[in-house]
Every structure is written in C-alpha cells, then in structure tokens.
Amino acid sequence: MVNISDYPQLRLIAWNRRDNELIAEGEALSLYERNWRHVDREQLTGAEQQLIDRLVVEYGNGVFNVELSDSPPYSEDSTRVKQ
C-alpha cells in the first residue's frame, strides 16, 4: 500500500482523494501513467522517483506506459517546442 501524502506529485494527481489515503501499489502506478502529463518531473523527490521505478518493475513488467503526447511541450532549455 502507498500513502499518497508521502509522495508530493502523487498527492497532486490524486487530488480527489483524502489526505493520507492508502492505495494499492498497482493503482498508484496506474495513476502515474494516466496523469503523467500533470507530474512536474523536476519536483519528484528521490523517494518518489524510487517508488515509480519500483512500481514499474513490479507492476508494469518494466514498462512505464505513457504516451509521447504526455511529455511536456517544453524542451530541456524551457523553450516551447512546436507541436
């Protein structure tokens, strides 16, 4: 079980759930995958990145299932990328 309040970006994408709610690990991975476009990757803590990495291995068979369109529309230098 994952406490959504322990992971700031998960807390943001699980905005419609109670604080300190426990969710199954597979459900946490599903939330990350479905809402990846809303995750601020620069704000991921080390612990949260480790959680995602572990969930991908254990529940995603090594695949983090996000679409390319879920990538932010900005390049690394923060300039707008043409779409």
pTM over 0.85: no
Range with the poorest average pLDDT among 6-10, 30-34, 61-65, 76-80: 76-80
* Per-residue confidence (pLDDT) for residue 69, from 0 to 100: 61
DSSP string, 29-68: HHHHHHTGGG--GGG--HHHHHHHHHHHHHHSTT-----G
Residues 6+ apart with CB under 8 A from 33: 60, 64, 65, 66
Instruction: State the DSSP code for 72.
Output: -
- Report whether 7 contacts 51 (CB < 8 A): yes
Q: What is the mean pLDDT of residues 66-75?
A: 56
> With contact defined as beta carbons under 8 Å apart, do 81 and 74 qualify?
yes
pLDDT tens digits, 11-67: 999 999 998 999 999 999 999 999 999 999 999 999 999 999 999 999 998 989 887
By the 10 Å C-beta count (0-12 exposed, 13-18 middle, 19+ buried), 11 is classed as middle
